[in-house]
Amino acid sequence: MLVAALFVSGVVMAFFGYVPAAEQAHKSVADITASSLSGIRSAHSLVAEVFLVMIFLHMTRIAMTRSWHGDRKKNWHSGILLLCVASLFFYTGITLKWDQQGYEAFDHIVMLAGLAGLKGLFAGSGPTKMFVIHAVVLPLLLAGILGGHMMLVKINGISPLAPGDDNAAGPQTTFLHHIRHVAAYGLILLGVVHLVAAYYTPPLLGEPFAGVEWTKPAWPFLFLYPLETWALVVVPLIAIAVLAIIPFLANPLKKWDASQALFFILVMLWAALTFFGAVKHFA
DSSP output for 186-211: HHHHHHHHHHHHTT------PPP-TT
With H, G, I as helix, E, B as strand and everything else as coil, classify residue 59: helix
pTM for the full model? 0.91
245 Cβ neighbours under 8 A, 6+ residues apart: none
CA proximity to 160, closest of 252, 64, 65: 65
Report pLDDT for 165.
54
Mean of the pLDDT values across residues 122-137? 91
Report pLDDT for 169.
44
Mean of the pLDDT values across residues 179-199? 89
From 158-172, 175-189, 253-267, the region with the lowest mean pLDDT: 158-172
- Residue 174 binned pLDDT confidence (cut-offs 50, 70, 90): confident
Per-residue pLDDT tens digits for 220-232: 999 998 887 778 8
Mean of the pLDDT values across residues 154-180? 68
Residue 167 pLDDT > 70: no
Give residue limits of the domains in the chain. 2-214
Query: Which pairs from 57-65 meet CB under 8 Å and 24+ separation?
Result: 59/83, 59/263, 60/267, 62/159, 63/246, 63/259, 63/260, 63/263, 63/264, 64/163, 64/260, 65/159, 65/160, 65/161, 65/162, 65/163
Residue 191 pLDDT > 70: yes
Per-residue pLDDT tens digits for 18-49: 999 999 999 999 999 999 999 999 999 999 99
Report pLDDT for 168.
46
Report pLDDT for 186.
87
Residue 81 pLDDT > 50: yes
Report pLDDT for 185.
87
Residue 164 pLDDT > 60: no
Query: What CATH number labels 2-214?
Result: 1.20.810.10
257 vs 124, more confident: 257
Residue 213 pLDDT > 90: no
Report pLDDT for 166.
53
Name the residue type at position 37. Answer: L
Q: How far apart are CA 274 and CA 119, in angstroms?
A: 28
CB atoms within 10 A of CB 153: 19
CB 208 within 8 A of CB 125: no
Per-residue pLDDT tens digits for 238-266: 999 999 999 999 887 788 889 999 999 99
Q: How far apart are CA 228 and CA 185, in angstroms?
A: 40
CB 21 within 8 A of CB 127: yes
Q: How far apart are CA 267 and CA 269, in angstroms?
A: 5
Name the residue type at position 205. Answer: L
